[in-house]
């Protein structure tokens, strides 16, 4: 476990100036007072009337009037200020180190919660000590009756590491008619609203700083599953996500981090006998994606794939060192939540546009 901490620049718990709670709602923000004013009051209004729960707003070195707004809320929230913004993952790392709780809820600032969104999640944690991570059902804030792109009713990956959700595969997002309302084990939980046992978060090394943003929650979930823990979706808890607030969908930066971080994640977490063939296959498929984006006129985004590959390959020794540290922590390579076939083939060639079409 110490090796994992070293590879993550050592996760050290600071002496917390706040009282310990059972559930800490940790909301990271950066220059988005507008979102805080829109959604934070509902989080406050729907907090259980108990000292077991508390809200912590981690301000990631905002330069707008965010701090002024937070001060206006008084003791309804706890404010943690990060002096220098070094990204999404680092903001959470520094902020969470100052909070003592049994369960963290990492809540994005562009999420609208609903009434009684906390209780069913906490109940699932209480009923099974092997459950380490839970996400609620996530709908789109823009289309309230549809699943959200990066969460849906639980996340999965295919055999080559491509992520998808119950309710969204590539460009097709389903309407939520209750078809995925069962509590079930999933592969990854969305960072939009991510509940995790604090002990597991600490021992696993937490979010990887090298990801900065995007896929950091999938990487963390993969690590945790390889340790033998469960990750669940709790559809009786529901939130609404705007999406794209950290890095805009379809942007060159999004494309870069999508391709680079996915390769890093695979190097860190795949079993040895699958590592080289699957990394090679992904590089080939990325090349095809580059050609397709050129044909569609997405020139800037397409060259982000080349940049992603260079960044990945030039730092390969670093990723392999992370893998070595994790191999000492993993107890097995989990298959739960991994679609055993290619989701690309299923979607683009076989016409399977819904999760239920996969017959899996």
Q: Are residues 136 and 156 in the same domain?
A: yes
- Checking if the pLDDT of 141 tops 70, the result is yes
Number of folded domains in the chain?
2
Confidence (pLDDT) at 9: 42
- Checking if the pLDDT of 291 tops 70, the result is yes
Q: What is the helix, strand, coil percentage profile of the chain, to 5?
A: 40, 20, 35
- Checking if the pLDDT of 337 tops 90, the result is yes
**Would 359 be classed as within a structural domain?**
no
What number is the average pLDDT over the span 330-345?
94
**Would 342 be classed as within a structural domain?**
no
Contact 24, 110 (CB under 8 A): no
What number is the average pLDDT over the span 161-184?
97
Q: Are residues 202 and 60 in the same domain?
A: yes
Q: Are residues 269 and 184 in the same domain?
A: no
Q: Average per-residue pLDDT in the chain?
A: 92
**Would 37 be classed as within a structural domain?**
yes
Confidence (pLDDT) at 82: 94
**Would 164 be classed as within a structural domain?**
yes
Alpha helices in the chain (DSSP H): 2-7, 33-45, 66-72, 88-96, 119-127, 198-204, 216-226, 252-269, 272-295, 299-314, 316-327, 343-344
pTM, two decimals, is 0.93
CA atoms within 13 A on the CB side of 203: 13
The boundaries of the domain holding residue 197 are 2-241
Q: Are residues 282 and 150 in the same domain?
A: no
Boundary residue ending a domain (241, 268, 298): 241
Q: Are residues 300 and 179 in the same domain?
A: no
Q: Are residues 237 and 257 in the same domain?
A: no
Q: Using alpha carbons only, how large is the chain's radius of gyration in Å?
A: 20
Non-local (6+) Cβ contacts of 357 within 8 A are: 346
Contact 103, 197 (CB under 8 A): yes
CA atoms within 13 A on the CB side of 126: 8
Residue-wise pLDDT for 9-44, tens only, equals: 434 555 678 999 999 999 999 999 999 999 999 999
CA distances from 93 to 164, 217, 250, 259, 286 (A): 26, 13, 27, 23, 31
Q: What percent of the chain shows pLDDT beyond 90? A: 82
**Would 34 be classed as within a structural domain?**
yes
Q: Are residues 142 and 218 in the same domain?
A: yes
The enclosing domain of 200 has a CATH number of: 3.90.550.10
Q: Are residues 274 and 146 in the same domain?
A: no
- Checking if the pLDDT of 178 tops 50, the result is yes
Contact 152, 180 (CB under 8 A): yes
Q: Are residues 68 and 212 in the same domain?
A: yes
Phi-psi region of 312 (alpha: psi -120 to 50; beta: other; left: phi over 0): alpha
**Would 346 be classed as within a structural domain?**
no
Looking up tokens 């083939």 gives: 345
Q: Are residues 201 and 263 in the same domain?
A: no
Contact 235, 125 (CB under 8 A): no
What number is the average pLDDT over the span 281-300?
90
């Amino acid at each position: 476990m110490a090796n994992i901490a070293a590879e993550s620049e050592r996760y050290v718990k600071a002496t917390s100036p706040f009282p310990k709670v059972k559930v800490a709602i940790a909301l990271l923000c950066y220059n988005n007072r507008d979102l805080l004013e829109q959604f934070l009051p509902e989080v406050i209004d729907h907090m259980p009337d108990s000292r077991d729960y508390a809200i912590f707003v981690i301000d990631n070195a905002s330069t707008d009037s965010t701090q002024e707004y937070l001060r206006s809320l008084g003791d309804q929230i706890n404010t943690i200020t990060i002096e220098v913004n070094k990204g999404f993952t680092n903001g959470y790392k520094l902020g969470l180190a100052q909070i003592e709780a049994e369960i963290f809820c990492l809540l994005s600032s562009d999420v609208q919660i609903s009434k009684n969104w906390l209780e069913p999640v906490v109940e699932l944690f209480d009923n099974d000590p092997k459950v380490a991570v839970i996400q609620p059902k996530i709908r789109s804030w823009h289309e309230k009756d549809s699943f959200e792109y990066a969460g849906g009713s639980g996340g999965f990956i295919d055999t080559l590491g491509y992520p998808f959700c119950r309710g969204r595969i590539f460009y097709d997002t389903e309407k939520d008619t209750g078809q995925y309302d069962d509590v079930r084990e999933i592969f990854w939980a969305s960072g939009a609203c991510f509940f995790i046992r604090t002990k597991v978060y600490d021992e696993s090394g937490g979010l990887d700083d090298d990801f900065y943003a995007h896929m950091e929650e999938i990487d963390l979930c993969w690590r945790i599953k390889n340790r033998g823990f469960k990750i669940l979706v709790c559809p009786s808890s529901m939130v609404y996500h705007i999406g794209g607030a950290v890095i805009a969908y379809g942007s060159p930066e999004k494309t870069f981090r999508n391709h680079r971080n996915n390769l890093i994640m695979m190097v860190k977490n795949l079993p040895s006998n699958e590592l080289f063939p699957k990394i090679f296959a992904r590089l080939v498929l990325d090349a095809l994606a580059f050609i397709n984006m050129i044909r569609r006129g997405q020139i800037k985004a397409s060259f982000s794939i080349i940049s992603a590959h260079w960044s990945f390959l030039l730092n390969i020794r670093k990723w392999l060192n992370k893998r070595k540290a994790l191999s000492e922590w993993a107890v097995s390579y989990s298959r739960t939540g991994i679609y055993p076939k290619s989701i690309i083939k299923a979607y683009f060639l076989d016409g399977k546009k819904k999760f239920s079409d996969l017959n899996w």
